[in-house]
Structures are given as C-alpha cells and as structure tokens.
Structure 1
Amino acid sequence: MKVLITDEISQEGLQPLLDDPRIEIEVRLGLAPEELYRIVGRFDALITRSGTTVDEALLEHCRNLKIVARAGVGIDNVDVDAASSRGIIVVNAPYGNVNSAAEHTMAVMLSLCRNVPVANTSLKQGEWQRAPFTGCELKDKTLGIIGLGKVGGRVALRAKAFEMNVIACDPYISPKRAEDLGVKLVSKEDIVRYADIITLHCPRNEETIDMLNARHFDAMKDGVIIVNVARGEIVNEAAMLAAMQSGKVRGAAFDVFSEEPPRSDLVKQLIAHPRMIVTPHLGANTFEAQKNVAVDVSKEIVRYLDGQPLDSAVNIPRFDADLMQVMQPFLSLIQQMGEFIVQLAPANPSKVTFSYNGKLARYDCAPLTVCGLASLLNRSTEQDVNMVNSQLIAEQMGISVETVCSTEAESFSNLITITMTTPAGKRTVAGTIFEGIPKIVKMRDFNTDFQPEEHMLVISYADKPGLIGKIGTILGEAGINIGSMNLGRRAKSGEAMVVLSLDTPAPAEVLEQLATSIDAAFIRSIHMENGICDN
C-alpha cells in the first residue's frame, strides 16, 4: 500500500506504518493543487491535517485511493459525501487530543482567575505591582459545564480536584455517566443562573449555534466568567462583547472564534478586550496530542489493510450485499424513526431498546440497530456518528443498547419499535414499511399512521370540541400551511395526540400561542432531514 502524507504529521506517531513492510510512505508537503492532482492517483491512502482540502476536484484524480485519514477531530476540509460516493473510507482521530483540550481549558481558566497574562506583561515591562492583579480561587466556585462528552467529562474530573462544585448540562448523557463523574445534571437555564464559571464543550451544529446569547447573559450572575475551547459560533460573539463591555462578565477565555484567523471588526474587538484571554485555537496543539492523532490514523490504515473493523470511520462501512438488499427499506425507516423519537424524548437517556417483530426478526438486525442508534446520537457529539461507531459512542455516553427480536407479529408482518428510557419516563415509536413507504404506526400507546416529513408538529391535549379548528386557525394566521394531519386518541373526550406535517417550520412564538390556546400537555416542533442511512 502506498501512503501519501501532505501535511505536517508527527513522525513518532507514524511508527505503525513505518513498522509494516507492506506500506510505502511518501511525504510531500506544501504542494500546489495542480501538483497534488498530478501525483495523487498513484496512492492508496492519504493522510492530512487541515492544510489539504480533500474535495471533489482532488478526488477526481484519486484513481486508486481507498482511505483518507484526517489526523485530528474535525473533517471540515474533507468532502465526506464525495469520498463515500467513490467508495473511499474517511477516518479521523476523535480521541487523540481530548486530554489536550481538557488541559487547555484548565490552563486558560486558571490564567484568567489569577491574572497571569497581565501580571506577566507588567513584570516584563519593569513594573512590580501586586494589588492590581489580585485573583480568585477555583475552590468552592460553581463550575457549569455545557456538554459533558469526552472533553467536558475530563474537565469535570479536573475541576473536582480543585474542589469546585460542578454542575453540567447535556441532554444526551445518562444520569449514571454524570454520577460516575461526580457531577449534578441540571438544565442550561440553571447553569446560566447559578454558575460562577461557565465552560462549553459541545460540537457546532444547528442546535448549538448561539447556545449562549444576549438573553442568557442577562440571566447570569454579575461577574461570571466564560470559557470556550470548543467551537467559535456556539457563543454569540456580539452578545459576548456587550456583556464584557457592560461588566456583566468579569472575564472570558476563548481559544476559538467564528473566524479563524479573525477578519471582522466584531471578532477583533472581542479579542482585543482587556478582560479577554485568547489563544489561536491551541486546544489540540500539544506534542502528545499530535503524536496521538498520528498514531490513531496510522493504526486505522493498518486495520484497513488487515481487513479489520475501523474504530473511527466517519462514513458508512459496507455490509453483505445480500443482507443489504433485504435491509435497505428498513434502514431508511429506522433512521427516520431514530431522528423522530430523539426530538420527542426527555433528556438524558439511559437506555435505548430496538425491538424487531415479524419476518424481519429472522435476519441479522445489527445493521438496523447501529443505523437507528446513529440517527439518535448524531445531534449530540462533535464526532460524526455512523454505523461504525454508534455503539462505542453510546457506551461512552453511558447509554445501554438492547436489541429484542421475535418472529411473532400481531397487526403487521414486520414492525420496528424504538423505546428510549430516561429519568422522566419512556418514549416509544413503532414503524413499518407499507407499499415501500416508511410509516410510523404507533407513538406511546396511540395508534398512528403517517409518513415522516421535513417539518412536523406533535401536540397532545385533552380532547375537546373545536381544538383542531383552533390549531388550524393559529397556523393559518401565521402563514403556515398544513400538509397532512394524523389524529390519535385513547377514548372519546380523553387525551388526544395530533401529528401535523407542515410546509414550513412553526416558530417559537406560534408554538407558545398554540400551547396556551388549547392548553397543550405537550407540544414539540420536529425537523426531519429525510435522509436515508447509507450503506
């Protein structure tokens, strides 16, 4: 196997490749795109960091490429879809820099609390001042961690060693995982209200952009400290700057920004603020981390060569062709079911059960389970979750996964049921394939019959005359068209559940109006991407 390395990679970390006589390595750094296009066709594997863009234009020249290895967590510079369409596996190194990021969080937090940067500058300028640089201790302070994953969990352990009171918010972490870390799980609102120091450790996605905004800053304690060594856009930078300027925030330590390097006046003003400690995205920049990520991707290439399962593939592995022919319709169904239920279930799941009934249970349902699990977890972690790594990530999050198979069936020849167990109770959805179309046929103990759509609205309420009309009127006045409606109820004048497909999403103010108008027991807006689990 011929391996091309196009970015600076720790030589020590490449030892697994150097020790394998089947592998030939060529290091070519700083190549112009035209030169890279000319030579890349000769190689079976490509190792990069962030300096090489692996896009459609490059992949068109990769005649023999089997695997792209990104020595780091992020894969923003790799077009995974284009690689997958060519059968090229993409792997990354999601764990190699975890410790580095956690330690950097503690480093900037301590530096901020003890005024290390400004005191250092003052002393080097020939001054000898102590009083202006009086700091504060971490002991007995309340640390609020938003995101208790790989990095956030390590920060929690280190904060406990400093005798801090640690609270955390992460709807995708089980209570047992938090208990093991000695952390109390609370809502984000409680972190905003009670924390002396807030640190963020979550991925950048549609759920986390502007996770802390002006409304949250207004609710914080006076003199709060903000630490962000995760992603730039999860803190609204305009609100952050305003809170610094008003004195609401005593100080902040940022390693990441919405622009890297900074270009806009806003980001430059934020960086220049005297109470802001900043570093240029150094969270993963330790010699140990660089070695670790190189070792991780090198081992993945050796595993690929040996035909072994890959630990950190970010696109979908191949399954037996005969099995996939049977499973393909159900892969689409279970992915949509997983994406649907995770938006309805209470926070902090401890267990997910996948039940298969009917003819389907005669087959190996493992591909279905990992696909459904991936769709459940994909909103919750900085690592892309797929059919390869979903079980491992669930284990790390403290979520147990159970599979139940039975060839016995009642109403349907094939039925898939997903049950999520949380501290607040269980949520269940069941689905089947009807004339080739994925249908959800049960929610909790309500019988339903609908096809998941991009924009949906789920409402439960006490069944009374005229409420359906009110729902339609409120949505109509908001300019939101109803595509379809499915109504389920237990008994006349009992609890009812309505599932609406909408042409456009319902904004928060419309949801509030609906909830008040019909006295809804539950209301939730659902956004489905309508994707199909790749194979």
Structure 2
Amino acid sequence: MAPRVLISDKLSDAAVQIFKDRGIDVDFQPDLGKDKDKLLEVIGQYDGLAIRSATKVTEKIIAAADNLKVIGRAGIGVDNVDIPEASRKGIIVMNTPFGNMITTAEHAIAMMFAVARQIPEASASTHAGKWEKSKFMGVELTGKTLGVIGAGNIGGIVCTRGVGLRMKVVAYDPFLSDDRAAELGVEKVELEDLLKRADFITLHVPLTDQTKNILSKENIAKTKKGVRIINCARGGLVDEAALAEALKDGHVAGAAFDVFAEEPAKENPLFNLPNVVCTPHLGAATSEAQENVALQVAEQMSDYLLTGAVQNALNMPSVTAEEAKVMGPWIKLAGHLGNFIGQMTDEPIKAINILFDGQASEMNLSALTSSVVSGIMKVTNPDVNMVSAPVIAKERGVRISTTKQDQSGAFEGYIKVTVVTTQRERSIGGTVFSDGKPRFIQIKGINLDAEVGRHMIYTTNTDLPGIIGTLGTTLGSNGVNIANFTLGRSAEKGEAIALLYVDDVVPAKAVEELKATGKFQQVRPLVFDV
C-alpha cells in the first residue's frame, strides 16, 4: 500500500507532483492547517505531513497521529512543531535549512537601501501629490561601515553583498574563523568594536538565551550616533522599546524591521516613527524561495517514506535503521560531548578533532562526527541539525578531522573531542556503559566518571580542602539540589575539576556567589538535551 501524505498548507503544484510521481498517495488540502479541529480528526490517516508555518503540530495533534512517520517543514523555522513530543512518538521532523538563504539575505540588503534613502516615506509622500524633495535627504552606502552580527549562512551572504557594494564590512560571530573572515572579505571584530564603528548594523543570529536583546538599551547606547539598524532575522534580538527611544532622541537615524518580538505585530513601539521601515516577516517571501523549499521537502519526505533515507532531520541521525539500534546511545554521547565544549567555548573555533577508540571506531563515523559538530553548533544556532552542522562549520572555516584506533584502555570504546580555538585547546572524552547511558570520563586530561544530566554545573579550582563544602553550601542556600557530584584532579594540590548534576537550573545568583569566594578559576552552568 502506498504511503499517504497530507499537505495541510500551501505548497506549489510542482511539489505536489513530486509526491505523485514517486508513487505517494498525496492529499492536498492547503487550508486544512488553519482548522485545528479538522486536522485533529483526520491526522491519524496519514504517514506523512507536509507543512509551512500555518499548521500548528501540537502535542494534541501528535497524540492523534497514530500512523505518522515524518513531518516535513518547507522552510527552516519549526516553532510550529512540538519536536520533543514528535521525537517521543518516533516521528521524524525534517526542515529545509538552505532553501531561502539568498532570499532572506537579499531582503536585508533591500531593507538597508530602503532605510538609507527613506524610500517608503518618500513613495507615500509622492503618491499623496506632494513633492518634498528636500525632506528626504538620504545617505550613500558606499564607503560606510556595515556591522554584521552573525556571519553564518545568511549573514555570510550579506557580508559578500556588502563588500560588493564597496562597504567596509565588520562581522561579529564567535564561530567565525580568521580564514573564513578572509574568504568573505570582512574584518572579524568583537561586539563592542562593531557597535562603536558601524554606520549600519544588520542581525543574522537565531534567538537564544545568549542572543536575546543582543541590542539591549545599553548596547544601543554604545552605537555610533546616526546608526541605522536592520533586523530580518528573529524578533527579540533588539529591545524594541529602547530602540524607539533612541530613534526619537536622534541617536539612531533609522531602522528597518521584518521581524518583531510579538507576531503578528498589530502594535509595536517602532510603528509610525519617522524613517522606520517595517515589513510583515517577508524574509523568505519570494516565489523562488517558496518553490525551492517546497520541492526540497517533497523530495526529502518521499525519500524517507520509500527508502528510509533521512535528510535534514532535526531529531534523528542520518543512519540506516540497522545502525540506529546500536548507535543510538553513542550518537547521544557524541552530541553531549560537542554540546559540553560548545557551552564552554566563547572564542572562535579553528578546528574540531575527534578520536574514536575501540567499539566507537567501528561505527558510522560520519553520523557520530555530525552529532559532535551539531552539539557544538547548537549552542549558538539551535536550528542546525546533524546534516546542516558540518556544512555550516565548513563554511565558517572550521577544520574537522577524525582519527580511529583499536581499543587502547579499560573501556570497550570511547570518543574524545578536542576543539582548537584562537586561544587554547579544550578536550573531553566519554563512553557508553552497558546500561546504555552516556558518561563523561575525561575533561582536560583529568579522569572522572560523570553521568550526564539536563542541568549541570562545572567548576575548576586548585585542589585544596573545602571545595566540596563550598559547592554544597552555596547551591543548597540557593535551593539547588545536587543529584550527582563527581570530582577529579591532576595531582594532589594540582588542578581539580568538579561536575555536578543538579535537579534544576542553577540561578545566576548562585554562580556569582561561587565566583565571589575566590576559590574557583571557572564556574559554568550547563544544560543538556537528555
């Protein structure tokens, strides 16, 4: 019996035809996604669900999807899919991360032109029969400094377009290597430097805890007077109320926004201010981009349903069904190792070196490597997956190398990840015990045995009495319960580390109190997707 796929949002006729040509029984109902009750009623009949952004695949929908095997999102954002719930039910969630990069980058450039020359206001004035030529004095882009925050896929394209416009381009991105910056023709800078120098600032980062309000009131105040700010990435990257005040007092000369903290944006502090250009999240809204992502998702879903091949999956490694049975715990371990180093690393990464020992060396090293790289990259780019992460790393000039060796120690196999940055090398090793649970077994060359928990805290110190007591007392006074406490040291009175598995998020107050004791060289809360 042919697999059945429901398309519940608008997809092109060419995408529908791909399903048909591949022998898929496709049901094209482009408005069904807006009717959640009807979707809930029929979803159990289908093996695949192809969507855009209108369909909300909630926990309730997934619970009713008894036959669903794959959800394909035509586009990059999957905020409308409950991925953890889909994973728990064994449903693969795919997206199309590269189909709209050029379109979104071009929109940012168009918005920059629009705000530089006040085109929307000048157009409205002229349509109204006015001829206010002297009112709309603009600025040239040539010779100006363009500050790009985030030089990944889309940001990298914006960088090259800015260089082509004869702008001086400076870029801030913790993962941007010197080689990649040279390839793009940009100067790599720290955020503080970018804020001071840029005539135009454009944002191209995901919304994470680290990037939320990256242009805060304080950072906006550090910008060059007369700066113009463009955001076509994600709402919430800019403090919109603070920007509105800076626009009113003249510190910021203009802004162009395609995304907003709350969408659909019916009201916003930026609305109706002079020289503020606003569009309704049109970054990916070109016929070419919409066609590209639609065709891509149809091909990916068909491949999976007919052959089991997995591409651009957000919640499943790109391995065969046979490999997945054995590799599942090792893939999770690889992701944890990468995520640990990603959370510990603040400077640009030049290289990722991975050693596979014993049992691990006999597995699908491509999938394990992708899991490591994905774990590292997810810290700053939650949208990456095991397929896209190595591509993004390569584009950023990060060298990835792997080595495999026969069993060399007490463990049947282990993985060791070493990251080389502009300032240091950092390494961590891990294995999978017979219970199928990943363990950290070595950090900075110091042996230990630490179970991986969702919330953890890592510290380094000189091996002296009282460290355990300080950690326990400080965390306890802040309401943090310790589930597991692991210690390691290089030698008596030498370098020592502690890795604590705790029940809840470690409050910032507890971290600051530990740092204030003066006993620790480093105190770092960590979060893992376990």
For the criterion TM > 0.5, the same-fold answer is yes
Residue number in structure 2 paired with 1:28? 29
Rounded Cα–Cα distance in structure 2 between residues aligned with 1:478 and 1:65: 44
Matched, 1:69 2:72: yes
Rounded Cα–Cα distance in structure 2 between residues aligned with 1:492 and 1:59: 54
Residue number in structure 1 paired with 2:146? 143
Rounded Cα–Cα distance in structure 2 between residues aligned with 1:42 and 1:501: 43
Cα distance, 1:116–1:362 mapped onto 2, change above 3 Å: closer
Equivalent of residue 220 in structure 1, options 204, 220, 223: 223
Contact 1:458–1:526 (CA under 8 A) maintained in structure 2: yes
Rounded Cα–Cα distance in structure 2 between residues aligned with 1:499 and 1:87: 32
Superposed CA deviations along residues 24-57 of structure 1, whole A, max 9, x for unmatched, are: 4443232334444454444443322222222344
Contact 2:457–2:524 (CA under 8 A) maintained in structure 1: yes
Residue number in structure 2 paired with 1:106? 109
Residue number in structure 2 paired with 1:451? 451
Amino acid at match of 2:299: K
Rounded Cα–Cα distance in structure 2 between residues aligned with 1:46 and 1:482: 42
- Segment drifting more, 298-307 vs 131-140: 298-307
* 1:297-376 aligned within 5 A: 297-307=297-307, 309-317=309-317, 319=319, 323-376=323-376
How far did 1:423 drift? Answer: 1.7
Amino acid at match of 1:130: K
Superposed CA deviations along residues 446-469 of structure 1, whole A, max 9, x for unmatched, are: 333433344444344555676776
Q: TM-score, normalised by structure 2?
A: 0.88
Amino acid at match of 1:349: I
Equivalent of residue 9 in structure 2, options 4, 7, 10: 7
Residue number in structure 2 paired with 1:126? 129
Residue number in structure 2 paired with 1:408? 407
Residue number in structure 1 paired with 2:416? 417
Superposed CA deviations along residues 308-362 of structure 1, whole A, max 9, x for unmatched, are: 6343222315755664454344334333222212111342223222212234434
Residue number in structure 1 paired with 2:83? 80
Q: Secondary structure at the match of 1:431?
A: strand
Cα distance, 1:438–1:311 mapped onto 2, change above 3 Å: closer
Matched, 1:292 2:324: no
Superposed CA deviations along residues 132-169 of structure 1, whole A, max 9, x for unmatched, are: 21111112222111111111011101100111111112
How far did 1:86 drift? Answer: 4.1
Q: Secondary structure at the match of 2:229?
A: strand
Matched, 1:245 2:248: yes
Residue number in structure 1 paired with 2:425? 426
Rounded Cα–Cα distance in structure 2 between residues aligned with 1:477 and 1:41: 50
Matched, 1:208 2:207: no
* 1:151-166 aligned within 5 A: 151-166=154-169
Rounded Cα–Cα distance in structure 2 between residues aligned with 1:510 and 1:395: 38
Contact 1:506–1:525 (CA under 8 A) maintained in structure 2: no
Matched, 1:93 2:92: no
Contact 2:15–2:295 (CA under 8 A) maintained in structure 1: yes
Q: Secondary structure at the match of 1:75?
A: coil
Contact 1:7–1:52 (CA under 8 A) maintained in structure 2: yes
Q: TM-score, normalised by structure 1?
A: 0.87
Rounded Cα–Cα distance in structure 2 between residues aligned with 1:143 and 1:173: 16
Q: Could you say what the CA RMSD is over the residues aligned between the two structures, in angstroms?
A: 3.1
How far did 1:101 drift? Answer: 0.7
- Unmatched 5+ residue regions in structure 1? none
Residue number in structure 2 paired with 1:270? 270
Equivalent of residue 170 in structure 2, options 150, 167, 172: 167
- Segment drifting more, 88-97 vs 224-233: 88-97
How far did 1:366 drift? Answer: 4.1
How far did 1:425 drift? Answer: 2.2
Rounded Cα–Cα distance in structure 2 between residues aligned with 1:113 and 1:248: 15
Contact 1:362–1:407 (CA under 8 A) maintained in structure 2: no
Cα distance, 1:119–1:426 mapped onto 2, change above 3 Å: same
Rounded Cα–Cα distance in structure 2 between residues aligned with 1:434 and 1:80: 27
Superposed CA deviations along residues 65-120 of structure 1, whole A, max 9, x for unmatched, are: 44322222212222333434444333222222111111110111111011111211
Amino acid at match of 2:28: V
Rounded Cα–Cα distance in structure 2 between residues aligned with 1:163 and 1:52: 42
Rounded Cα–Cα distance in structure 1 between residues aligned with 2:127 and 2:440: 68
Cα distance, 1:137–1:44 mapped onto 2, change above 3 Å: same
Amino acid at match of 2:424: G
Rounded Cα–Cα distance in structure 1 between residues aligned with 2:84 and 2:513: 40
Superposed CA deviations along residues 2-39 of structure 1, whole A, max 9, x for unmatched, are: 44332222334545345x16244443232334444454
Rounded Cα–Cα distance in structure 1 between residues aligned with 2:310 and 2:466: 56
Q: Secondary structure at the match of 2:182?
A: helix
Rounded Cα–Cα distance in structure 1 between residues aligned with 2:472 and 2:98: 49
Q: Secondary structure at the match of 2:157?
A: helix
Rounded Cα–Cα distance in structure 1 between residues aligned with 2:310 and 2:434: 36
- Unmatched 5+ residue regions in structure 2? none
Cα distance, 1:107–1:354 mapped onto 2, change above 3 Å: same
- Segment drifting more, 329-338 vs 504-513: 504-513
Q: Secondary structure at the match of 1:272?
A: coil
Superposed CA deviations along residues 431-478 of structure 1, whole A, max 9, x for unmatched, are: 234564533232223333433344444344555676776666766666
Amino acid at match of 2:248: Q
Residue number in structure 2 paired with 1:261? 264
Residue number in structure 2 paired with 1:399? 398
Q: Secondary structure at the match of 2:146?
A: strand
- Would you say how many aligned residue pairs link Structure 1 and Structure 2? 525
Cα distance, 1:382–1:289 mapped onto 2, change above 3 Å: farther
How far did 1:58 drift? Answer: 3.4
How far did 1:484 drift? Answer: 5.6
Superposed CA deviations along residues 288-327 of structure 1, whole A, max 9, x for unmatched, are: 1111111211222342355263432223157556644543
